[in-house]
Structure 1
Amino acid sequence: MTSTRWNHNIHYHRLILDAVPAAARTALDVGTGNGLLAAELHQNIPVVTAIDADAEVLDSARQEDSGVEWVLGDVLTYPFEPESFDAVVSVATLHHFPNLAQALSRLANLTAPGGVLAAVGLARSTRPTDFIRDVVGVVEHRRHKRRFGEWVHTAPVVWPPPHSYTEVRRAASAVLPGVIWTRLAMWRYALVWNKPTAKSLTEDFR
């Protein structure tokens, strides 16, 4: 259980879980890594699929929950049916995609109407406000690490992130109209986007 483990990514699992609709029946965890978020999702969502391109880390993830459908593959090319997931989520995955707009478009395409796309990601600091947040992140990191220790995942690491916070926000706003963007402490940001239903789109054009 993740309650006995802590790191920057696990710290923000609750943000993802709270964004998922209560009525969600299907979920996709993109870049599942060691599988902790997928296992947490499966506690409340009947059908959870988790995909990762790294076979070794996926073997580790399978130990978390045998009821999750663990998929080895690239989410950009894997033949998922469009609009087949009530929730599409990711933590510390988007910076692995060089073309962020392409990745966001793909995840939006997999999200069912009325569903949610929720992601916590990493980016580079380039503005004064970013660096102020980084200082806050250092303080938060030290406080939580003293209290919980730090669990080290075994998923592949990409550092530094290829995109700045400004670039991520611009790409998300362009691809996901109405997206809610939040700059987080501990070198993270959050994106939450609720995909419109056909009915809401019709109402918008009245």
Structure 2
Amino acid sequence: MTEASTTRWNNNIHYHRRILDVVPAGARTALDFGTGNGLLAADLHARVPDVTGIDIDLAVLESARAEDPGVRWIQGDVMSHPFLPESFDVVASVATLHHLPDLDSTLTRLAGLTSPGGVLAVVGLAKSSGAIDFLYDVAGLVQQARYERRHGIWEHSAPIVWPPPHTYGDVKRSAARVLPGSTWSRLPMWRYLVVWHKPAP
């Protein structure tokens, strides 16, 4: 991980490792969509030689450029930017999917950008809607308090959407429909993880 990620902490940075752990061996290209302040893109660039970070917000991209000048930074919408199909060995994001209202369309688009044999990995936020979710929320409060005492909390400058428009169940069902064989994990501190390995030809 980059120096930025090892010296700063918040809920999103905490889960970068979950994405980095599924980067395929030999991956050459990566896309961080909704890159925000660019910390995930910079972390990916420590492992993948060609990394692109895209975000619609110009102001936050200025901050991202300072994190790693070797990343290709693009102001644009991942849903419409003219990327070549299947052009990224890694398609990833943290805390972005809830900014996009149509889960099925978004996951379909991201799957289309993922190269055969590549991975799509999303750490996201969603709304709690059941007893299990609320148990995770309580555990998250305890865990976050412990980490904040130890590390402090770094406040990002990316735009915030709250509350998320989708429940955890909504995201899980959408991933099952659009990404057959994907794995779903509910995480503490108000996050989930979806990982999908695109079949090789």
> 1:161 matched to which residue of 2?
164
Residue 107 of structure 1: aligned partner:
110
Q: TM-score, normalised by structure 2?
A: 0.98
Which of 124, 139, 164 is the matching residue for 2:127? 124
- Runs of 4+ in structure 1 deviating by more than 4 angstroms, as ranges, are none
Quote the Cα distance in structure 1 between the aligned partners of 2:47 and 2:144. Answer: 29
- Which of residues 36, 41, 53 in structure 2 aligns to 1:38? 41
Q: The residue matched to 2:181 in structure 1 has which SS? A: coil
Deviation readout 1:81-106 (Å, 9 max, x if unpaired): 00000000000000000001111000
Kindly report which structure 2 residues correspond to 1:127-206, keeping only aligned pairs within 5 A, or say none.
127-198=130-201
Measure how far apart 1:155 and its partner are.
0.1
Q: Distance in 1 between matches of 2:184 and 2:99?
A: 19
TM-score, normalised via structure 1 length: 0.95
For structure 1, which segment, 67-76 or 36-45, has the greater mean C-alpha deviation from structure 2 after superposition? 36-45
Q: For residue 76 of structure 2, what is the aligned residue in structure 1? A: 73
- Residue 197 of structure 1, CA deviation: 1.2
Q: Hey, what does 2:91 align to over in structure 1?
A: 88
How many residue pairs end up in the alignment?
198
Any stretches of 5+ residues in structure 1 without a counterpart? Answer: 199-206
Superimposed CA distance per residue, residues 176-204 of structure 1 (whole angstroms, 9 cap, x where no aligned partner): 00000000000000000000012xxxxxx
Letter paired with 1:5: R
Deviation of 1:22 (Å): 1.7
SS of 1:116 mapped into structure 2: strand
- Hey, what's the Cα distance between the residues in 1 that align with 2:121 and 2:75? 21
Cα distance in 1, alignment partners of residues 103 and 47 from structure 2: 29
For the residue of structure 2 that corresponds to 1:49, the secondary structure is: strand
Percent sequence identity over matched residues?
63
SS at match of 2:21: helix
Aligned-pair Cα RMSD in Å: 0.4
The aligned amino acid for 1:70 is W
